[in-house]
Amino acid sequence: MARTASVSRATGETDILIELDLDGTGKTDISTGVGFFDHMLTALGRHSLMDLRVRCEGDTWVDDHHTVEDVGIALGDAINQAIGNKCGIRRFADASVPLDEALVQAVVDFSGRGELYWDVPIGPSKVGTFDTELGEEFFVGFARNAGITLHLRKICGSNAHHILEAAFKACARALRVACESDPRVNDIPSTKGVL
């Protein structure tokens, strides 16, 4: 069964289309109008091995906030749609990813209770024109709408670009494993029988 999704989301602030395949090869085609964010989403798709296409037209003349947050919401919806009833998945995974001096850990649980636990202090407030606080905003919308419990924790690092990129890559690597099929699990991986 194909684990794919296509999500459209239009508001007064953004118009978004996301297409993904959880069982892809990491092909990406990203255009949000926010260069650094495109770079992060490309890393997310590549390292999760999701095929990911993202189109967003947002009110970036205001700032990048609505684009980043709303793409997080729509991408979370797409993951939730593609993963289905979670029958036979591994469910839990973690990954620690370095980028030079930065090291970030991500832990994922396809719990059905979407929540982000963010412990990623970033000193510099900008990467180019990108507000570094938007990293957290993306992951809040993503985790809630994907229905995943997501812990992100900076172990070390000082360069804002490196920290954020390590966070996106760590999340990608944990997602890749958590949503994989586990040949030893034939049902919902929960004592409750539902996720």
Amino acid of residue 156: C
The region that residue 122 occupies, defined by phi over 0 for left and psi between -120 and 50 for alpha, beta otherwise, is beta
pLDDT given for residue 115 in this prediction = 98
Residue 153: Cβ-neighbour burial (10 angstroms; 0-12, 13-18, 19+): middle
Going along the chain from its start, the domains and CATH numbers come out as: 4-178 (3.30.230.40)
pLDDT tens digit sequence for 34-60 = 999 999 999 999 999 999 999 999 999
pLDDT band at 113 (very low <50, low <70, confident <90, very high): very high
pLDDT band at 139 (very low <50, low <70, confident <90, very high): very high
Give bridge partners of residue 115 from the DSSP assignment.
149
Inter-residue contact 64 to 37 (CB < 8 Å): yes
Amino acid of residue 73: I
- Rg (Cα) of the chain, in Å, rounded? 16
102: tokens are 């930065």
pLDDT band at 1 (very low <50, low <70, confident <90, very high): confident
**Global pTM exceeds 0.85:** yes
- pLDDT surpassing 90 at residue 193: no
Alpha carbon separation from 137 to 65, 67, 186, 188 (Å, rounded): 8, 10, 35, 30
pLDDT given for residue 52 in this prediction = 98
Write down the H helix ranges in 130-159: 134-146
What does the CA dihedral 53, 165, 155, 120 come to, rounded to 10 degrees? -80
| 119/117 Cα distance (integer angstroms) | 7
- Mean pLDDT over the full length of the chain: 97
Nearest Cα residue to 35 out of 56, 13, 18, 10:
56
pLDDT tens digit sequence for 62-102 = 999 999 999 999 999 999 999 999 999 999 999 999 999 99
Residue 156's SS3 state is strand
